[in-house]
Amino acid sequence: MAAETPELPPADRLVETIPKGDTHLRKVCPDCGYIKYDNPKIITGAVCLWDDGGGDGGQGEAGELVLLCRRAIPPRVGFWTIPAGYLEQGESTAQGAVRETMEEAGAAVAVESLIGVYEIPHISQIYVIHRARMLRPEYAPGEESQETALFAWANIPWDALAFPSVTWALERYGESRSGTVPPIHYVAPSEIMK
Protein backbone atom coordinates (compact mmCIF):
# COMPACT_ATOMS: atom_id res chain seq x y z
CA MET A 1 0.00 0.00 0.00
CA ALA A 2 1.39 3.40 -0.99
CA ALA A 3 1.98 6.01 1.68
CA GLU A 4 -0.57 8.80 1.66
CA THR A 5 0.57 12.26 0.66
CA PRO A 6 -0.25 14.81 3.36
CA GLU A 7 -2.68 17.52 2.37
CA LEU A 8 -0.89 20.67 1.26
CA PRO A 9 -1.95 24.06 2.60
CA PRO A 10 -3.82 26.35 0.19
CA ALA A 11 -1.52 28.60 -1.85
CA ASP A 12 -3.15 31.74 -0.45
CA ARG A 13 -2.02 30.71 3.08
CA LEU A 14 1.67 30.71 2.14
CA VAL A 15 3.83 33.68 3.06
CA GLU A 16 7.29 34.55 1.77
CA THR A 17 9.99 34.28 4.41
CA ILE A 18 13.41 32.77 4.97
CA PRO A 19 12.79 29.61 7.02
CA LYS A 20 14.96 28.98 10.07
CA GLY A 21 18.21 27.34 9.02
CA ASP A 22 17.71 28.27 5.35
CA THR A 23 19.33 30.93 3.17
CA HIS A 24 16.66 31.51 0.51
CA LEU A 25 13.31 33.26 0.46
CA ARG A 26 10.61 30.57 0.31
CA LYS A 27 6.83 30.27 0.52
CA VAL A 28 5.96 28.90 3.96
CA CYS A 29 2.70 28.05 5.74
CA PRO A 30 2.72 29.91 9.08
CA ASP A 31 0.28 27.37 10.58
CA CYS A 32 1.90 24.01 9.78
CA GLY A 33 5.44 25.02 8.74
CA TYR A 34 5.15 23.53 5.24
CA ILE A 35 7.85 24.92 2.92
CA LYS A 36 7.25 25.12 -0.83
CA TYR A 37 10.55 24.59 -2.65
CA ASP A 38 10.84 25.93 -6.18
CA ASN A 39 13.53 23.69 -7.66
CA PRO A 40 15.19 23.69 -11.09
CA LYS A 41 13.57 21.72 -13.90
CA ILE A 42 15.38 18.68 -15.29
CA ILE A 43 15.32 18.20 -19.05
CA THR A 44 16.36 14.86 -20.48
CA GLY A 45 17.00 13.94 -24.08
CA ALA A 46 19.12 11.96 -26.48
CA VAL A 47 21.35 12.21 -29.49
CA CYS A 48 19.65 9.35 -31.38
CA LEU A 49 21.66 7.43 -33.97
CA TRP A 50 20.89 5.08 -36.85
CA ASP A 51 23.54 3.22 -38.83
CA ASP A 52 22.26 2.89 -42.38
CA GLY A 53 25.22 0.71 -43.33
CA GLY A 54 26.10 3.17 -46.06
CA GLY A 55 29.02 5.45 -46.72
CA ASP A 56 30.90 7.83 -44.51
CA GLY A 57 28.60 9.97 -42.35
CA GLY A 58 31.01 12.88 -42.70
CA GLN A 59 33.06 12.40 -39.55
CA GLY A 60 34.25 8.93 -38.79
CA GLU A 61 31.74 6.12 -38.51
CA ALA A 62 30.33 4.90 -41.80
CA GLY A 63 26.63 5.46 -42.34
CA GLU A 64 25.85 6.82 -38.87
CA LEU A 65 22.91 9.25 -39.01
CA VAL A 66 21.54 11.61 -36.33
CA LEU A 67 17.78 11.94 -35.73
CA LEU A 68 16.53 15.52 -35.39
CA CYS A 69 13.07 17.02 -34.92
CA ARG A 70 11.86 20.36 -36.31
CA ARG A 71 9.97 22.09 -33.48
CA ALA A 72 6.22 22.73 -33.86
CA ILE A 73 5.82 24.46 -30.49
CA PRO A 74 7.27 27.64 -28.95
CA PRO A 75 9.93 28.57 -28.29
CA ARG A 76 11.90 28.37 -31.53
CA VAL A 77 9.19 26.97 -33.81
CA GLY A 78 10.71 25.65 -37.05
CA PHE A 79 14.19 25.09 -35.62
CA TRP A 80 15.82 21.67 -35.27
CA THR A 81 16.39 19.90 -31.96
CA ILE A 82 17.20 16.53 -30.51
CA PRO A 83 14.30 14.71 -28.83
CA ALA A 84 14.18 16.12 -25.28
CA GLY A 85 11.78 17.35 -22.63
CA TYR A 86 10.97 17.59 -18.95
CA LEU A 87 11.69 14.58 -16.77
CA GLU A 88 8.54 13.08 -15.26
CA GLN A 89 8.12 11.99 -11.65
CA GLY A 90 9.28 8.42 -11.04
CA GLU A 91 11.42 7.99 -14.16
CA SER A 92 15.17 7.93 -14.67
CA THR A 93 16.80 10.32 -17.12
CA ALA A 94 17.38 7.39 -19.49
CA GLN A 95 13.70 6.38 -19.30
CA GLY A 96 12.71 9.99 -19.90
CA ALA A 97 14.96 10.20 -22.97
CA VAL A 98 13.36 7.04 -24.40
CA ARG A 99 9.85 8.43 -23.73
CA GLU A 100 10.62 11.86 -25.20
CA THR A 101 12.10 10.28 -28.33
CA MET A 102 8.93 8.25 -28.87
CA GLU A 103 6.68 11.29 -28.17
CA GLU A 104 8.55 13.76 -30.38
CA ALA A 105 9.99 11.53 -33.10
CA GLY A 106 7.99 8.29 -33.05
CA ALA A 107 11.25 6.36 -32.73
CA ALA A 108 12.06 3.45 -30.43
CA VAL A 109 15.56 3.77 -28.96
CA ALA A 110 17.89 2.14 -26.46
CA VAL A 111 20.07 4.45 -24.37
CA GLU A 112 23.78 3.59 -24.65
CA SER A 113 25.57 6.18 -22.51
CA LEU A 114 25.50 9.63 -20.98
CA ILE A 115 26.85 12.42 -23.21
CA GLY A 116 26.68 15.42 -20.92
CA VAL A 117 25.08 17.40 -18.13
CA TYR A 118 24.41 21.07 -18.83
CA GLU A 119 23.39 23.52 -16.09
CA ILE A 120 21.65 26.72 -17.16
CA PRO A 121 21.10 28.58 -13.87
CA HIS A 122 19.57 31.77 -15.27
CA ILE A 123 16.54 29.76 -16.47
CA SER A 124 16.73 27.17 -13.63
CA GLN A 125 17.20 24.18 -15.93
CA ILE A 126 19.52 21.17 -15.88
CA TYR A 127 19.93 19.13 -19.07
CA VAL A 128 20.90 15.45 -18.96
CA ILE A 129 21.63 14.26 -22.50
CA HIS A 130 22.23 10.64 -23.50
CA ARG A 131 23.48 8.81 -26.57
CA ALA A 132 20.83 6.40 -27.88
CA ARG A 133 20.61 3.89 -30.70
CA MET A 134 17.45 3.63 -32.82
CA LEU A 135 16.06 0.08 -32.73
CA ARG A 136 14.45 0.40 -36.17
CA PRO A 137 14.70 2.94 -39.01
CA GLU A 138 11.16 4.10 -38.25
CA TYR A 139 10.39 7.65 -37.13
CA ALA A 140 7.62 10.21 -37.58
CA PRO A 141 6.84 13.62 -36.10
CA GLY A 142 4.85 13.69 -32.88
CA GLU A 143 2.55 16.55 -31.86
CA GLU A 144 5.48 18.75 -30.82
CA SER A 145 7.38 18.27 -34.10
CA GLN A 146 6.72 19.60 -37.62
CA GLU A 147 8.98 16.96 -39.13
CA THR A 148 11.71 14.50 -38.27
CA ALA A 149 14.76 13.55 -40.30
CA LEU A 150 17.99 11.59 -40.20
CA PHE A 151 21.09 13.68 -40.94
CA ALA A 152 24.59 12.63 -41.89
CA TRP A 153 27.07 14.44 -39.65
CA ALA A 154 28.20 16.69 -42.52
CA ASN A 155 24.58 17.74 -43.19
CA ILE A 156 23.43 18.70 -39.68
CA PRO A 157 21.74 22.14 -39.96
CA TRP A 158 24.02 23.84 -37.40
CA ASP A 159 22.66 27.34 -38.14
CA ALA A 160 19.08 26.17 -37.62
CA LEU A 161 19.46 24.38 -34.27
CA ALA A 162 16.92 25.51 -31.67
CA PHE A 163 19.03 25.92 -28.55
CA PRO A 164 22.67 26.11 -27.41
CA SER A 165 22.14 22.89 -25.43
CA VAL A 166 21.40 21.05 -28.70
CA THR A 167 24.61 22.37 -30.23
CA TRP A 168 26.61 21.42 -27.12
CA ALA A 169 25.20 17.88 -27.09
CA LEU A 170 25.83 17.31 -30.80
CA GLU A 171 29.35 18.76 -30.59
CA ARG A 172 30.09 16.59 -27.58
CA TYR A 173 28.79 13.53 -29.38
CA GLY A 174 31.03 14.42 -32.34
CA GLU A 175 34.05 14.73 -30.05
CA SER A 176 33.26 11.45 -28.30
CA ARG A 177 33.16 9.55 -31.59
CA SER A 178 36.93 9.89 -31.85
CA GLY A 179 37.34 8.29 -28.42
CA THR A 180 39.83 10.98 -27.36
CA VAL A 181 37.63 12.67 -24.76
CA PRO A 182 35.93 11.39 -21.60
CA PRO A 183 32.37 10.15 -22.17
CA ILE A 184 30.77 12.71 -19.84
CA HIS A 185 30.92 16.45 -20.37
CA TYR A 186 30.23 19.15 -17.81
CA VAL A 187 29.69 22.74 -18.91
CA ALA A 188 30.35 25.21 -16.09
CA PRO A 189 27.89 28.09 -15.65
CA SER A 190 30.70 30.53 -16.45
CA GLU A 191 31.04 28.91 -19.91
CA ILE A 192 27.29 29.12 -20.56
CA MET A 193 27.07 32.86 -19.90
CA LYS A 194 29.83 33.76 -22.42
pLDDT for 28-61, tens place per residue? 999 999 999 889 999 999 999 999 876 544 444 5
Question: What integer pLDDT is reported at residue 176 of this predicted model?
Answer: 80
Residues 145 and 178 in one domain: yes
Which residues of the chain fall short of a pLDDT of 70?
Answer: 1-6, 54-62, 178-194
The CATH number given to whatever domain includes residue 24 is 2.20.70
Domain of residue 20, residue span: 8-38
Q: Which of 90, 167, 175 has the alpha carbon at shortest distance from 127?
A: 167
Residues 131 and 85 in one domain: yes
Count of the separate structural domains present in the chain: 2
Residues 155 and 81 in one domain: yes
> Is there a contact between 129 and 44 (Cβ–Cβ < 8 Å)?
yes
Q: What is the pLDDT of residues 63-72, one digit of tens each?
A: 799 999 999 9
Q: Residue 73 falls within a domain, yes or no?
A: yes
Residues 13 and 45 in one domain: no
Question: What integer pLDDT is reported at residue 192 of this predicted model?
Answer: 62
Residues 45 and 129 in one domain: yes
E strand or H helix at 155, and its extent?
Answer: none
Question: What integer pLDDT is reported at residue 177 of this predicted model?
Answer: 74
Residues 135 and 182 in one domain: yes
> Is there a contact between 21 and 28 (Cβ–Cβ < 8 Å)?
no
182 contact partners, CB below 8 Å, separation of at least 6: none
With 0-12 CB in 10 A as exposed, 13-18 as middle and 19+ as buried, what is 126?
Answer: middle
Q: Residue 68 falls within a domain, yes or no?
A: yes
Give dist(CA 62, CA 58) in Å, integer. Answer: 8
Q: Residue 135 falls within a domain, yes or no?
A: yes
Question: What integer pLDDT is reported at residue 62 of this predicted model?
Answer: 56
